Amino acid sequence: MAGLLAVGPASAAVLKMGGTVKILGDIGSHEHVPFTNAFNGAMLSLPASEEVVLLLDSPGGDIRGALDIVKVIRAAQAYGTQVHAHVPAGGECSSACVAILAVADRRTVAAGSILVVHGIRYQGPRIGVEDEIRRYGEESLRLIEAADDRFGRFLRDNRIIERNVELKFSGADLSAAFGGFVEFADD
């Protein structure tokens, strides 16, 4: 579900096209800065009644960066902004990307999309970071549970995040098994 990366700066491409914000590639620890600018621009370009679309195609990355993006989305939602996250055909939403997907008001996946959920992966010395790893794992799991209690319970009951088990789903399979979390949509 998430990945704390201690080595090498990751960087996703964050692009705005009208009312759509695209997150492409690895999510870095400071991704919320370009995301905030793009997201605010997308909100301003739309009538208040329309939803902002997040187009996600990311293998994940730094969970802290993803959770900072989640905070930006939640702040906008508190003022009535609706957010639709979509994983396109052939796209991927894995690891930390799933936290961003989970917070959207509407979540869709297309044919050929892939989603991967797992626990926190930390690269670097583990001394003194166990509590932080557990906290990020729990926060990620709570986001999924808030989006779909059934999928969240499945992950919690089987200790998927806690034991760092990797589950890989096609978008169609995840939609069929846990349609409350994502719905299948044609691109």
Mean per-residue pLDDT, 148-152: 96
Domain ranges of the chain: 2-180
C-beta neighbour count of 101 within 10 angstroms: 25
Beta-bridge partners for 182? none
CATH superfamily, region 2-180: 2-enoyl-CoA Hydratase; Chain A, domain 1 (3.90.226.10)
- DSSP structure string for 149-167: HHHHHHHHHTTTTTTT--E
pLDDT tens per residue across span 40-89 = 889 989 988 899 999 999 999 989 899 999 999 999 999 999 999 999 99
pLDDT of residue 9: 41
Q: Which residues of 54-87 are buried (b: 16+ CB within 10 A; e: fewer)?
A: bbbbbbbbbbbbbbbbbebbeebeeeebbbbbbb
pLDDT tens per residue across span 97-135 = 999 999 999 999 999 999 999 988 766 666 667 788 888
- The rounded distance, in Å, linking the Cα atoms of 123 and 51 is 36
Mean pLDDT of all residues in the chain? 88
Helix (H, G, I), strand (E, B) or coil at 180: coil
pLDDT of residue 66: 93
Q: Which residues of 148-175 are buried (b: 16+ CB within 10 A; e: fewer)?
A: beebbebbbeeebbeeeeeeebebeebb
pLDDT of residue 11: 63
Percent above pLDDT 90 for the chain = 64
pLDDT tens per residue across span 2-31 = 332 222 344 677 888 889 999 999 998 888
pLDDT of residue 1: 33
pLDDT of residue 126: 60
pLDDT of residue 59: 95
Contacting residues for 14 by C-beta, under 8 A, at least 6 apart? 21, 22, 23, 24, 31, 34, 35, 38
pLDDT of residue 127: 63
Are the C-beta atoms of residues 99 and 70 closer than 8 Å to each other? yes
